């Protein structure tokens, strides 16, 4: 699993960059090496996500993955977004999963074999030739996960990938992701506002407060897997995760 280090992260509004002023939020002041982590907060979590992905740059501080500074986007990070439109509508599920491999110059035979194996991992091998409009929302997100894993990134970044799904499908996808993680052991940074989802999936939950968005607390999750969301221990962890930010918490 890749070690991720985030040091002295600060975000300034565009109007204040380069001049004096109070930072809008200070994100993290510690390093963390994580198999899975969740943040139960609301304020512009997209900024921290984009910093790790290399899509934007913080006003101060840096992020290192495996000891290497993040200076832009790269194939050491796979990304899964919330929006179902992240798939290419003119490509089949197999073609979508193979896209990153194609960009790396891998031969068609090899990339299709790898893509099919990733579809098998997310239990969609029978839909390899289906187009996105033939797939349900949950199935499209499975394709997106398979595509992000296909080129073997060190880190998987997931920005509320199940938020738009119905409750039953979301539960199913959480179980699937936990199975995928047990198989791949990838480092995963997962943004969520759902405390139960955080406790179910994470080994560490990082809780942040809004206005400004600062790291409030870290809650290690020491429950054995697979986890029972109805157990007393599980509910206790939910309480521990939300308690530090009190009634003003966003979940």
Q: What confidence tier does 251 reach under pLDDT thresholds 50, 70, 90?
A: very low
Angle at 35 between CA 30 and CA 40, to 5 degrees: 65
Q: What confidence tier does 21 reach under pLDDT thresholds 50, 70, 90?
A: very low
Q: What confidence tier does 156 reach under pLDDT thresholds 50, 70, 90?
A: confident
Q: What are phi and psi of 106, to 5 degrees?
A: -75, 145
Of 122, 187, 189, 135, nearest in space to 165 by CA: 135
Winning range, highest mean pLDDT, from 20-29, 30-39, 184-193: 184-193
Give the per-residue pLDDT at 249: 45
Query: Higher confidence at residue 143 or residue 42?
Result: 143
Supply the mean pLDDT for the chain. 77
23-52 as b/e: b if 16+ CB within 10 A: bbbbbbeeebebebbbbbbebebebbbbbb
Kindly state the average pLDDT of the residues 142-146: 95
In this predicted structure, the answer to whether residue 28 has a pLDDT above a threshold of 70 is no
Give the per-residue pLDDT at 70: 63
Give the per-residue pLDDT at 101: 93
Q: What confidence tier does 245 reach under pLDDT thresholds 50, 70, 90?
A: low
Give the number of other Cβ atoms within 10 Å of residue 226's Cβ.
Answer: 10
Decide: helix, strand or coil at residue 157.
strand
Place of tokens 């308690």: 243
Q: Which of 48-52, 79-83, 232-236 has the lowest mean pLDDT?
A: 48-52
Query: Higher confidence at residue 59 or residue 180?
Result: 180
Quick check: 66 and 3 in contact, CB under 8 A?
yes
- Determine if residue 66 is left, alpha or beta; phi over 0 gives left, psi from -120 to 50 gives alpha, anything else beta: left
Of 46, 43, 41, nearest in space to 58 by CA: 46
Query: Higher confidence at residue 216 or residue 214?
Result: 216
The token pair that represents 92 in the structure block: 């089949």
Q: Which of 20-29, 133-142, 229-238 has the lowest mean pLDDT?
A: 20-29
Q: What confidence tier does 208 reach under pLDDT thresholds 50, 70, 90?
A: confident
Q: What are phi and psi of 146, to 5 degrees?
A: -60, -40
Reported pTM: 0.77
Q: What confidence tier does 60 reach under pLDDT thresholds 50, 70, 90?
A: low
Give the per-residue pLDDT at 180: 92
């Amino acid at each position: 699993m890749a070690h991720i280090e985030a040091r002295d992260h600060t975000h300034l509004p565009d109007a204040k960059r380069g001049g004096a002023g109070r930072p809008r939020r200070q994100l993290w002041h510690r390093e963390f090496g994580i198999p899975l982590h969740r943040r139960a907060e609301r304020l512009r979590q997209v900024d921290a996500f984009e910093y790790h992905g290399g899509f934007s740059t913080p006003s101060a501080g840096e992020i290192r993955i495996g000891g290497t500074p993040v200076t832009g986007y790269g194939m050491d990070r796979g990304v899964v977004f919330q929006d179902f439109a992240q798939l290419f509508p003119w490509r089949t599920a197999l073609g979508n999963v193979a896209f990153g491999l194609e960009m790396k110059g891998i031969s068609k035979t090899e990339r299709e074999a790898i893509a099919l194996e990733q579809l098998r991992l997310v239990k969609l091998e029978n839909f390899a030739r289906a187009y996105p409009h033939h797939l349900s929302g949950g199935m499209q997100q499975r394709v997106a996960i398979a595509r992000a894993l296909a080129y073997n990134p060190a880190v998987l970044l997931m920005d509320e990938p199940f938020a738009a799904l119905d409750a039953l499908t979301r539960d199913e996808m959480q179980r699937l992701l936990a199975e995928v993680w047990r198989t791949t052991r990838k480092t995963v940074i997962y943004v969520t506002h759902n405390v139960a989802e955080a406790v179910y999936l994470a080994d560490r939950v990082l809780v942040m407060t809004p206005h400004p968005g600062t790291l409030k607390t870290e809650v290690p999750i020491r429950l054995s897997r697979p986890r029972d969301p109805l157990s007393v221990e599980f509910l206790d962890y939910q309480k521990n995760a939300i308690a530090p930010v009190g009634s003003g918490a966003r979940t």
